[in-house]
Structure 1
């Protein structure tokens, strides 16, 4: 199977409800472990945190590299799916802030898996596609309704994505998750204009 540009696309597996639940728990536990420990996180600890046996983990992900790849793709998918849901359930600026916080958590996990991801994700096209998908999610939050825009003129989704990437790197280097939240508030002021970000 291929997408519109001829790239190979893996068909999405349909799992039984219990198997899907176990996979979701594993991916959530693995993302948290990679964010805090890095790619050296123990698969035994990940399985224990997910509440499943190590055998279950290895049946789904025969190697740690496959687990890392699955976590990365799952987190990208989760971020993209969150944008329309947040836009529909929260005020526009709150929805954007919540998504940004989730993005920083994703980047923390990605930072922890960075060395392994360089081996697993060697396709530049896939990285560019991921960037485009994340920018599209941001754009959805910047323009939540017909004729509406949260952002000041001249603000675009790609710039916001790049700024968030910089925030995630600074917060990771300093080892301060709360620094990212403070910088997100500053970024929001730049996006929507001063005096319009409640609680900031």
Structure 2
């Protein structure tokens, strides 16, 4: 998965190069701070990210030369984690339960997606959306296929249907997502459930 955004926006992913352990730790701290700060009102400031993780601005700029580079990586990491969660959940749960748990993870992804897309240029978020659709669609397909094979998910459920329905989560404000997100996803799971 690493580097799937590189060609579309002309950046060489920092994750493609091997890192020293202290550099890797700094990178992880930067990304964690950025993930938390991107949800704050207003524009994500790089100096605030550096301060939040206790590093110098030079260290931050070595990893992420621009604010947009940092936001792209926050989003890419979120997509990677969401996609990887599908197979992990299927390993530990029956398919319908795995799908429901994955939808809980989708709600967290929707917040990051909304906040990152609001903070980057339109051309960038269009590229991000286009390149994340394939991996996320693959995760949905994995979950639906397992559920159909187990007889717990209706045979006519299609990946695109689920993608369209879950994409609305990123359009909800935090308060509405908190109030309605779980119920909406529960309704979606019930709608995907195979009828006896």
With normalisation by structure 2, the TM-score equals 0.78
Is 1:179 equivalent to 2:169 in the alignment? no
Task: Give the drift of 1:160.
Answer: 0.7
- Render the CA deviation track for 1:148-175: whole Å, top value 9, x for unaligned: 3542121112211110111332x32754
**Is the 8 Å Cα contact of residues 111 and 174 (structure 2) preserved in structure 1?**
no
**Higher mean C-alpha deviation, range 110-119 or range 153-162:** 110-119
Distance 2:117 2:159 in 1: 24
Structure 1 equivalent of residue 132 of structure 2: 130
Q: How does 1:1-200 map to 2 (within 5 A)?
A: 10=12, 12-37=16-41, 40-119=43-122, 121=124, 124=127, 127-144=129-146, 147-148=149-150, 150-169=152-171, 171-172=172-173, 174-193=175-194
Give structure 2 stretches of 5+ with no counterpart: none
Alpha-carbon distance change, 123 to 173 in structure 1, aligned in 2, over 3 angstroms: closer
SS of the residue 2:44 aligns to: coil
User: Conserved in 1, the CA contact under 8 Å of 2:151 and 2:194?
Assistant: no
Q: 1:145 to 1:189 in 2, by over 3 A?
A: closer
Aligned residues: 189
State how far apart, in whole Å, the 1-side matches of 2:102 and 2:159 are. 13
* Structure in which a larger fraction of residues adopt helix: 2
What do you get for the CA RMSD once the two structures are aligned?
3.1
In 1: Cα distance, 2:104 partner to 2:181 partner? 8
| 1:187–1:146 CA distance, 2 compared to 1 (3 A) | closer
Cα distance in 2 for residues equivalent to 1:51 and 1:194 = 54
**Judging changes above 3 Å, is the alpha-carbon distance between structure 1 residues 111 and 45 closer, same or farther for their aligned structure 2 residues?**
same
